[in-house]
Structure 1
Amino acid sequence: MNLTKMKKKKGFTLIELMAVIAIIAILAAVLVPTVSGYIERSKKTAIITQIRNVVTAIETHNATAVGDNAIDLTKPLKSIVSNGSENVKLEAGFATLDDIDRLAGMTCNVAIEINSDPDALQYIDVASNGVIQKYIGKTKTYTYSSSNGDESSKDTVESDRK
């Protein structure tokens, strides 16, 4: 018997291993930005869904409210959700306080504006922790401070919404 035929090839050559690593690196370079884009979009979608839930609850409450029991739309969302105090308007069943915290210091009017904006997904900036940072509205741009959640606004420049 021939000794070289008996000797079987064991393992891969260095060239084969380097080719596999190169292919994996190329796939990773293509997929990582795509996946991070999906994550960003899902955070924005979660914010918009939460806003729609809050706006539906506010509109339902105001449709059935009598007298002074209606919700003041200029107040921050956090002030109308039940947290144990007696002067709130809505129970916390439609949203947890953590969900409302992700909406920062947003007022009811801004939530209603975002809810009615079909292109809101394009004009919302969300932090990595899922908290809204900025919304470019049709007439005003709203920014939210990460430290205290306060809302500030300025007139929207037409080029901002393009």
Structure 2
Amino acid sequence: MRQRWVRIVWLAAALFAINVIARLVIRIGFHDNDTAENRVSIIMFAVIGIVLAIVTFVRAQRVPPSTWLPELGAAALAGMLLTILVGPFVSGDSPFAGGAGNFFSQVWLYGGFAIVGTLLGYWIATMLGRDYRSRSLAAFARAKTTKPRRVVRR
């Protein structure tokens, strides 16, 4: 049980670290350029989605979705809360400095990229037949075909 929380915390911290790096890049390199700030933000959300896709792809091969999905959901939610509520302080702002519209657009962008990234990771694992269920069914089929047939005596 403890390992489960450790995985959640590490993933949430990694997602928040991606946000901190993006905010520092914006603060140092593109402070007054709105177009560049928007591009770096979109790249940040895309990297978060890619990280979640990779983690999903790896976890989907080892354990059933009932195990990894709540972990990924909790980590993504924690990462989002850290990104939206703590992240602006890295840039020298407050969470609501850009207004409610900016705040909620970050929530929607983060949620959308997280969901799409997770789905892509799972779909790719399923498409390649490497997800937990496909591997279990393949192992079952191999076990059934390699067993000798029972001889029925009358």
- Greater Cα radius of gyration, structure 1 or 2: 1
Bigger share in strand: 1
Higher helix share: 2
Q: TM-score, normalised by structure 2?
A: 0.33
TM-score by length of 1: 0.32
